[in-house]
């Protein structure tokens, strides 16, 4: 099944039966991806007055309780409420869900003991393209990102200048395959978060950051339609399922 999309004054085809899922699932396991020093997620049958919500234990339905933290346990999308005293929720800030996105691949640079993603690297990768969303895949890109234990590993992060560049270029939705756009231990400075959302100026209420994605190597760099799917949490962040759809010229035959 295909859909016709108009983007940047051109007409494209997307095949909606060929989604490219770049999310990491939440699993009740020590093998679940983990950041920020928390124990793994828990999924277990609810118990009410002697009744256990498990078909295996005689119930008519499975009725599970889930304990997790969206920032620590999988792909999540967050809004400016992540760093403001005032409550702003992802459910109220993210009201559109389809965007033209550019997938880029970056080898973080080593600087002063850290691996960083600089504005120079982003300028080179994005060039003069105008995109609503940018999806950053870092190298090396191995499948262990699906279960990596990140605490105390100082993963790569964006410099403040890189976040400013994206903001000034008009990028509203930033997706990255690390636990945070900021350094793991930065004494609460959060320079990239603050710069991207412009908290010192007119805050970008409709801008989002999605962290802990995984972009398979089979997904080539280039232009896509991005669909950000979230759960309707009235919270600063929600688990999310970003989906990419490759853009084809209107008359391109369906790829196998």
Structural domain contains residue 225: yes
pLDDT tens, position by position, 144-169? 999 999 999 999 999 999 999 999 99
What does pTM read for this prediction? Answer: 0.95
Is 54 inside a domain boundary? Answer: no
Asked, for residue 118, whether it belongs to a domain, the answer is yes
Rounded distance, CA 54 to CA 56, Å? 5
Examine residue 46 and state whether it is found in any structural domain, yes or no. Answer: no
Q: What is the DSSP letter of 8?
A: T
SS3 166: helix
Q: pLDDT of 194-253, one tens digit each?
A: 999 999 999 999 999 999 999 999 999 999 999 999 999 999 999 999 999 999 876 666
CA–CA separation, 256 and 252 (whole Å): 12
Residue 184 maps to a domain: yes
- The answer to whether residue 206 is domain-embedded is yes
pLDDT in tens, 20-79: 999 999 999 999 999 999 999 999 999 999 999 999 999 999 999 999 999 999 999 999
Per DSSP bridges, beta strands 208-211 and 76-78 are antiparallel
The structural domain count of the chain equals 1
Q: Which two tokens stand for residue 157?
A: 């992060």
Parent domain of 20: 2-26+70-249
Kindly state whether residue 150 falls inside one of the protein's structural domains: yes
CATH number at residue 199: 3.50.30.50
Least Cα distance to 134 among 242, 12, 216, 32 occurs for: 242
Residue 65 lies in a domain: no
176 has a pLDDT exceeding 70: yes
CA 184 to mean position of chain CA atoms: 17
């Amino acid at each position: 099944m295909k859909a016709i999309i108009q983007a940047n004054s051109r007409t494209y085809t997307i095949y909606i039966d060929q989604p490219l899922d770049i999310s990491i699932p939440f699993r009740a396991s020590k093998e679940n991806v983990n950041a920020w020093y928390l124990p793994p997620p828990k999924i277990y049958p609810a118990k009410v007055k002697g009744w256990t919500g498990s078909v295996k234990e005689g119930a008519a339905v499975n009725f599970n309780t889930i304990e997790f933290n969206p920032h620590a346990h999988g792909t999540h999308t967050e809004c400016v409420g992540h760093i403001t005293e005032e409550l702003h929720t992802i459910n109220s800030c993210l009201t559109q869900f389809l965007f033209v996105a550019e997938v880029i691949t970056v080898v973080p640079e080593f600087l002063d003991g850290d691996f960083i993603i600089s504005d120079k690297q982003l300028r080179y990768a994005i060039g003069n393209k105008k995109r609503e969303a940018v999806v950053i895949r870092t190298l090396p890109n191995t499948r262990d990102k699906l279960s990596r234990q990140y605490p105390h590993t100082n993963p790569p992060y964006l410099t403040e200048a890189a976040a400013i560049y994206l903001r000034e270029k008009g990028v509203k939705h930033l997706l990255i395959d690390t636990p945070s756009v900021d350094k793991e231990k930065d004494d609460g400075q959060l320079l990239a978060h603050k710069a991207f959302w412009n908290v010192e100026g007119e805050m970008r209420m409709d801008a989002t950051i999605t962290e802990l994605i995984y972009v398979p190597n089979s997904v080539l760099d280039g232009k896509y339609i991005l669909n950000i799917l979230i759960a309707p949490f009235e919270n600063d962040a929600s688990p999310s399922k970003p989906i990419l759809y490759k853009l084809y010229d209107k008359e391109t035959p369906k790829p196998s």
